[in-house]
Amino acid sequence: MSRTLGSVRARATLAATLVVAVALVAAGTALLLALRSSLTGEAGRAADSSARRVATTLVTQPATDAIDLDDGDEPVQVVDADGRLLAATEDLEHITGTETEQVRPADGAPAGGGGDDDGDDGDEDDAGRTRPEVSDDTRYTDGEATIDGDTADYRFAAVEVDDTPRGDLTVYAGAPLAAERSAVTTASTAMLIGFPVLLVVVAGVTWLVTRRALRPVEGIRAEMAAITASRDLGRRVPVPDTHDEVARLARTTNETLAALADSVERQRRFVADASHELRSPIASLRTQLEVGAAHPELLDVPGAVEDTVRLQELAADLLLLARLDAGERPGGTAVDLAALVREELSQRVGDRVPVETATRGEARVTGSRGQLARVVANLVDNAQRHARTAVRVTVEGGAAGQGARLTVSDDGDGVPEAERERVFERFVRLDDARSRDGGGAGLGLAIARDVAERHGGTLTVRTAPEGGALFELTLPGRRSGTETGRETGREN
């Protein structure tokens, strides 16, 4: 159960249902309030109309005449300024929500308060009396009334009439709220029945839609599980024929699988090539030692030393490549590239051809001094291996912070244009290089490019003016605030 509720389909369905439920409750509440307000307002207008009709009658009716309320089916009261009931609907039995709950005028209640019992003074008063006026304002209250045994809720309108022949009066007239109560009840019942049904429909539709939308994701998951089980990185996940996030996920997954397969294949080739390269010097060294053990006078010590050095250099190259592949970042030491080149060349003895150097400008960069020294050594070794008469190393620097450029050229046969990227691959040696005496393991240029890229630079090859190969290393300038290391010493 918990697994089902933890699925994307279940969460999406639950979220959609909750959102729709909240929206329906909010909309239903607003609808009921609007319906109730509209119907209550309509009842209020009807009550106001009834009250003003009675008020208009009282304006012109003499004080001596009885107040006639037309014996309607709606509750009406006429109350004087002292709150005494002057008239009410004939069959009114009970009322609440008005100024008085009386349903019959009290015995002896005055018919009016605006006149005088002296007839002689009455004419004079009539002549000086202010004209009666019906107020424009209406007060509304809610209550209930019983008429002829029927009790119901009413909306009461109170209209004041000033200076009538009976004095200041207030007319209360009610309009039934049965229609409002019935409409609100009916709407509430419909919502209580319809909302759950609608929520069930929304949940079902969402469940089906998400199932269809997530079906490609399940296909991707199943295929990834199969790839993991079979360890076959040549397989690919299905890409749906859409342009949505799922299709992009599938394409990205396939790109990741391709990169992973390429990485695994490179690792496999690396291990195979490393084993092959290590086998030759180890076998040669073993043979020499076995011969030396049996016949000491035949021991080739210089050859054994040469094989040991070759084996040591190969192991160092493999270790550096492993560290680079592991993501080792260069340090933040400030390095004078020109001084580094001079130091490296001064330590070289027994070079097959002479090495010329030239420096122009300040060439300060930031990085690992040991790794940059390895690049210089590898490029010079490569040039020495292919040069006929000379190797030239040039170091150029721009203005402060503008980077540096190192070129190593020879007058050999050069690198064919079609092979200029391939020479930077690991354990790759061109045919003419394999025909030379010792050569290398095919790791020098690969290491040089990896180090250059991890320092933010580039390493390319083109034709030298002398006709041979020209390798060009470009490095970014020194970053401010990074000159914390000393330029002396060497990093591993």
Q: Express each pLDDT in 331-380 by its tens digit.
A: 778 888 999 999 998 888 778 888 999 988 788 888 889 899 999 999 99
CB of 156 within 8 A of CB of 97?
A: yes
| H or E element that contains 366 | strand 364-367
pLDDT of residue 379: 93
Topology annotation, domain 330-475: Heat Shock Protein 90 (3.30.565)
Q: Kindly give, in sequence order, each residue whose CB lies less than 8 Å from that of residue 70, ignoring residues fewer than 6 positions away.
A: none
| H or E element that contains 438 | none
DSSP symbol at 100:
-
- What angle is formed at CA 31 by the lines to CA 25 and CA 35, rounded to 5 degrees? 145
pLDDT of residue 125: 47
Tell me which residue of 4, 166, 1, 178 sits closest to 74, measured CA to CA.
178
Q: How far, CA to CA in Å, does 180 sit from each of 192, 228, 415?
A: 18, 68, 96
Mean pLDDT of 446-459: 91
Computed from CA positions of residues 269, 275, 277, 280, in that sequence, does the dihedral angle turn out positive or negative?
negative
For tokens 């749906």, name the residue.
240
Q: Please give the Cα distance from 292 to 139 (Å, whole number).
A: 126
Q: Please give the Cα distance from 488 to 484 (Å, whole number).
A: 12
CB of 184 within 8 A of CB of 35?
A: yes
Beta partners for residue 87, in sequence order: 78
> What is the CB-side half-sphere exposure of residue 45 using CA atoms within 13 A?
6
pLDDT of residue 269: 76
pLDDT of residue 144: 92
What confidence category does residue 140 fall into, taking pLDDT thresholds of 50, 70 and 90? Answer: very high
pLDDT of residue 275: 77
Averaged pLDDT score across all residues of the chain? 82
The tokens describing 467, both together, are: 């006709």
Q: Above 80 in pLDDT, residue 109?
A: no
Q: Please give the Cα distance from 231 to 299 (Å, whole number).
A: 49
CB of 426 within 8 A of CB of 299?
A: no
CB of 54 within 8 A of CB of 174?
A: no
Q: Above 60 in pLDDT, residue 483?
A: no
Percentages (nearest 5) of helix, strand, coil residues in the chain: 50, 20, 30
What confidence category does residue 158 fall into, taking pLDDT thresholds of 50, 70 and 90? Answer: very high
Instruction: Give the rounded percent of residues in the chain with a pLDDT score beyond 90.
Output: 27
pLDDT of residue 408: 94
Q: Please give the Cα distance from 369 to 340 (Å, whole number).
A: 8
CB of 144 within 8 A of CB of 160?
A: no
DSSP symbol at 243:
-
Higher pLDDT, 429 or 219: 219
Buried b (16+ CB within 10 A) or exposed e, 195-209: beeebeebbeebbee
Tell me which residue of 488, 486, 489 sits closest to 332, measured CA to CA.
486
The pLDDT tens digits for 386-396 are 899 989 999 99
Higher pLDDT, 13 or 491: 13
Tell me which residue of 56, 51, 345, 8 sits closest to 210, measured CA to CA.
8
Beta partners for residue 167, in sequence order: 164
Q: Please give the Cα distance from 488 to 485 (Å, whole number).
A: 9
pLDDT of residue 170: 92
The tokens describing 355, both together, are: 């090495």
**391-397 and 150-164 strand pairing:** unpaired
DSSP symbol at 235:
-
Mean pLDDT of 209-232: 85
CB of 67 within 8 A of CB of 86?
A: yes
Q: Above 80 in pLDDT, residue 199?
A: yes
The pLDDT tens digits for 124-138 are 445 455 778 888 999
Q: Please give the Cα distance from 347 to 459 (Å, whole number).
A: 24
CB of 51 within 8 A of CB of 99?
A: no
- In this structure, of 51-55, 66-70, 131-135, 485-489, the range with the lowest mean pLDDT score is 485-489
Q: Please give the Cα distance from 151 to 95 (Å, whole number).
A: 9
pLDDT of residue 434: 40
What confidence category does residue 435 fall into, taking pLDDT thresholds of 50, 70 and 90? Answer: very low
Domain definitions of the chain by residue range: 1-114+130-232, 245-313, 330-475
Q: Above 50 in pLDDT, residue 114?
A: no
What confidence category does residue 121 fall into, taking pLDDT thresholds of 50, 70 and 90? Answer: very low
Higher pLDDT, 167 or 1: 167
pLDDT of residue 64: 63
For tokens 């011969």, name the residue.
291
pLDDT of residue 478: 64
Q: How far, CA to CA in Å, does 140 sit from each of 53, 160, 242?
A: 16, 12, 63
Q: Above 50 in pLDDT, residue 402?
A: yes
CB of 68 within 8 A of CB of 79?
A: no
Q: Above 50 in pLDDT, residue 433?
A: no
